[in-house]
Amino acid sequence: MNDPIMKHYVPDTDWFQLSSLQRMLQAYSCVYIKPDVGRKGSGIIRVKKHNAKESEISYNQTTSLCSSDQVYLRIKWILNPKKKYIIQQGIDLATYQHRPFDVRVVLQKPLGRWRATLMSAKVAPHKSSIVTNIAKGAKDHNLYKLLRETDQSLNSSEVMRDLLDPSYQIAQILDSHYPLKILGLDLGVDKKGKVWFIEANTKPDCIGLETIDRKLYRKYLRAKKIMRGG
């Protein structure tokens, strides 16, 4: 968030507490509350402000209405008191067949240079899903094909470039802080086509991506082989 270029890609984020919830709900009509340490889409809460008096709270595949002055208490009741949580500006994710999706970009550093080797779109199982994790029923799709068929009129080649440029920048920035050789980035594309950086995984799960794009998967395997020294 401190990087002058990258900060434009990171949703407004803060530690979760009453004051940050109030500030965020003033600024955005939708916010996410997430465990500090991710758990494959578990424990995530979405709050959508309907109007000054009423909000909608979604958690664990259920959605309920809540009066605005009760939102903090209701969330506290759901959260694990032993854990730390962040609150984040909600991104209005673009949809494919009315279901939200985000993008997985896998980057590897085989010969001292970062390369984006795998890309896929993770499409949520339902229109109402609040997360797009494979562990929560999302399915991988071929990103190139999907971008041409999204419900929005996103320009697919522009979006592809907008996904790759920040991916390389994120890899370089994280690499300057931690010794990394592989990264799996979760990037969101909102309904206007703007790209957002949701999170970075240092042990990305690439299972199942072979059938999504065989050419890219071969690129991934080649990089993996070089990195192993073979």
Ligand X SMILES: Nc1ncnc2c1ncn2[C@@H]1O[C@H](COP(=O)(O)OP(=O)(O)OP(=O)(O)O)[C@@H](O)[C@H]1O
Q: Residue 208, SS3?
A: coil
Return the structure tokens found at 3.
């990087």
Among 20, 55, 58, 88, binds ligand X (CB under 6 A): 88
Per-residue mark of binding to ligand X, 40-59 (x: CB under 6 A) = xx--x---------------
- Using CB under 6 A as the binding criterion, the count of chain residues that bind ligand X stands at 22
Query: What's the CA gap between 183 and 198, in Å, rounded?
Result: 13
Residue 120: C-alpha distances to residues 30, 115, 133, 140, 210 (Å): 26, 15, 12, 6, 11
Span interacting with ligand X, options 31-39, 108-116, 145-153, 216-224, rule CB under 6 A: 31-39
213: contact with Mg ion by CB under 5 A: no
Q: How far is the CB of 217 from ligand X (least distance, A)?
A: 21
Among 140, 162, 186, 213, binds Mg ion (CB under 5 A): 186
Among 25, 28, 34, 146, binds ligand X (CB under 6 A): 34
Among 49, 87, 90, 166, binds ligand X (CB under 6 A): 90
Give the CB-nearest residue to Mg ion. Answer: 186
Query: What's the CA gap between 186 and 224, in Å, rounded?
Result: 20
Residue 138: C-alpha distances to residues 91, 103, 162, 198 (Å): 17, 12, 23, 16
